[in-house]
Structure 1
Amino acid sequence: MRIAILTGEYPPLEGGVGDFTRALALELRRQGHELHILTGQNGAPAIADEDGVHVHRCIPSWGIACHNQIVRQVAAIRPDVLNIQYQPAIYEMKGAIHLLPRWQKRNIQVPIVTTFHDLRVPYLFPKAGQLREWSVQQLAANSQGVILTNDEDYAQLTRMLGSGSPAPQVRLIPIGSNIAPAPPPGYEPAAWRADQKFNPEDFLIGYFGFLNRSKGVETLLEAAAALVQEGIPVQLLFIGGRTGSSDPTNRAYAAEIDARIEALGLSARVRRTGFATPPEVSAALLACDVCALPYRDGVSLRRGTLHAALAHGKAIVTTTPQVPSRQLRNGENMLMVPPEATPEFAEALRRLWHEPDLRARLGQQAALLAAGFSWNRIAAHTAEFFRQLCHQAEPPAS
């Protein structure tokens, strides 16, 4: 198949949706498909062949004028399917992308499939109110197919769509880790820790991901401060880029976190890798004793940072999911506590400090769970869904 993927974020921009799109495109290409990425102008070459994927950085902004540019690109590429990667921040929180399937059905005469990385609503304009949720509902309802990545969003979108007709076909296809467990050649965790000036006895707690208010980093900081007061040799390692390229609110939140670190007296115990290559991120994750992911909205399989921790076989402390998951199991492949519950989060970390055997067992089970989210399987299921929709769109034989 010839597949066009529309995304507001793609490398070299930093962000989980861009990294996901690249990983998916590379695997679809490896499986024999022709891939075209339609994305924003970001200073990189306007048209480039990147590892066999054709990247068209042709869209200057994501206002309503982007419709004409997208239609022209689709007409030139002539794909079998157009896949929209949706997360509101990557489209500058504007609403034009939500109306593309509805307004351009006559001009984009191939199946449109929207992959929802979450169901958050765009800003649109002051006092937009219910129009914000309506815009997300319109994007889903007017797509021929919808891909969701987790049980919570599946349940929520089902409620949003109701019993209206026609309804899109919906598939649940999880994401995978954007960071493979592949550190640089010659890597050895103890040596890496020594090079980074960590002591052998340090309890190294890793946090991976941008600083975003939904991540609940305050809970981790306050729990770490409590453990330090008990004499536990905590060191915090913030892995990866600081705020990313798409969400401007992250910068203000990062400043709040910096102030909180100083107020808690943790400055000497916090290290940051800064933006790092995938092998460097992998090396840092593998060196950690524990990975802490204190999401405010609960752990979810839509979180790429969770998948990275699972793939690296880490003992994970995180927060209880909003919707119970058959795959994420407290005490079996991670430890979960309620969101924003600092004493409970501290107790889970304390337990892992005192019980290295539990750390090892949770890490082993995390790696086993990660094996079910391989890019080979994700791409194959995605392509099968595309193929099914393309077949249904074909006119009946005369």
Structure 2
Amino acid sequence: FQTAAYGMSPFIHFAPDLLRPYPVVTTFHDLRFPYLFPKAGALRSWIVRRLARASAAAIVTNDEDYAALAAHQIEATIIPIGSNIDPTGSQARPRGDSEFVIGFFGLINTSKGLDLLLESVRSLIDQGVPVKLWMIGAVAGSSDSTNLDYAKKIDAIIDRLALRPHLLQTKFLDDAGVAMYLRAADVVALPFRDGASLRRGSLMAALNCGTAIVTTAPAQPIAALDNAVLFCEPTAESLTAALHTLYADPERRIRLREAAKRAAHQFDWGQIAERTIAVFERARESQPTKESMR
């Protein structure tokens, strides 16, 4: 479940009630809200919590959402998402040996911090670093009308900072194409404004491809990312310092790549499936049978 899905209809939140006595298990990709009915205020969070409470079981993908539901006495199970980007068999994209390639992957929206990365790239270039920025599959997201405005802002920043000669923008790519670019980048930079989270598909893809990752520190510690990424603060200055550190230390980039590969094993789809089935079984066993309801 995601709030921007199902045509953003409020009626999906009442599915557990409509389908009783059959148990409904809801997996929440996240608990965030699209740009929908901005004047609805607290009603938006209430209706999402109502779906979680009415479900026979709730699954969340990250610690932040687990804590948010627990604060309202709603039980949930944490099962992280995996990545659809499979690096197996993919070849790294050819690139210049003298370039320091920074990859950015994902939809363009304000929360991704792409404007911070552009400022950092300009700073690195001014310091003499031979940067090439790959914007991999970077197109504006469609679930929020403000994304198009942000994409226009990004274009303006690129021109203001004279970054066109240092930029490669791929538009949409299939999974194999994404893996090809991610594997070839020296570093993947994901400066989320709200901090790294296991709900971020772009982060999971970068881990799965075994890349050296620079991302912003999470709101609360994520054990799965310990020593697997290099954290920075959500500022251009902090991001620049982290990227320059990895530019100057190829051995550290290698260590981060190996750590990312190890971390990715925790998000194997086979394990995710087994844990999800276990939740389904518990939900089924906890529901009254038709015979017991007679």
Partner in structure 2 of residue 345 of structure 1: 239
Written as runs of structure 1 = structure 2, the 5 A alignment for 1:199-218 is 199-218=96-115
Higher helix share: 2
Q: Does 1:172 align with 2:78?
A: yes
Distance in 1 (alpha carbons) for counterparts of 2:15 and 2:207: 36
Written as runs of structure 1 = structure 2, the 5 A alignment for 1:349-368 is 349-368=243-262
Distance in 2 (alpha carbons) for counterparts of 1:203 and 1:359: 12
Offset at residue 123 of structure 1 (A): 5.2
Partner in structure 1 of residue 231 of structure 2: 336
Do the aligned partners of 1:150 and 1:174 also contact (CA within 8 Å) in 2?
yes
Do the aligned partners of 1:210 and 1:240 also contact (CA within 8 Å) in 2?
yes
Offset at residue 250 of structure 1 (A): 2.1
Offset at residue 202 of structure 1 (A): 0.2
Offset at residue 249 of structure 1 (A): 2.9
Matched residue of 1:88: which SS? coil
Distance in 2 (alpha carbons) for counterparts of 1:122 and 1:350: 35
Distance in 1 (alpha carbons) for counterparts of 2:26 and 2:136: 30
Q: Relative CO higher for 1 or 2, CA cutoff 8 Å, sep ≥ 6?
A: 2
Matched residue of 2:30: which SS? coil
Q: Does 1:264 align with 2:161?
A: yes
- 1:166-206 deviations in Å (ceiling 9; x for gaps): x5x5211111112011354xx3x3xx32xxxx421100000
Give unmatched runs, 5+ long, in structure 2: none
TM-score when normalising by structure 1: 0.70
In 2 relative to 1, CA 122–287 (structure 1 residues): closer, same or farther, beyond 3 Å? closer
Number of aligned residues: 292
TM-score when normalising by structure 2: 0.93
Give unmatched runs, 5+ long, in structure 1: 1-85
Distance in 2 (alpha carbons) for counterparts of 1:145 and 1:98: 14
Distance in 2 (alpha carbons) for counterparts of 1:240 and 1:359: 23
Written as runs of structure 1 = structure 2, the 5 A alignment for 1:1-398 is 86-102=1-17, 104=18, 107-121=19-33, 125-159=37-71, 161-162=72-73, 167=74, 169-184=75-90, 187=91, 189=92, 192-193=93-94, 198-329=95-226, 332-339=227-234, 341-395=235-289
- 1:194-243 deviations in Å (ceiling 9; x for gaps): xxxx4211000001100011101111111110000011110010112512
RMSD: 1.9
- Identical pairs, percent: 45
Matched residue of 2:176: which SS? helix
Do the aligned partners of 2:34 and 2:144 also contact (CA within 8 Å) in 1?
no
Distance in 2 (alpha carbons) for counterparts of 1:361 and 1:211: 29
Matched residue of 1:225: which SS? helix
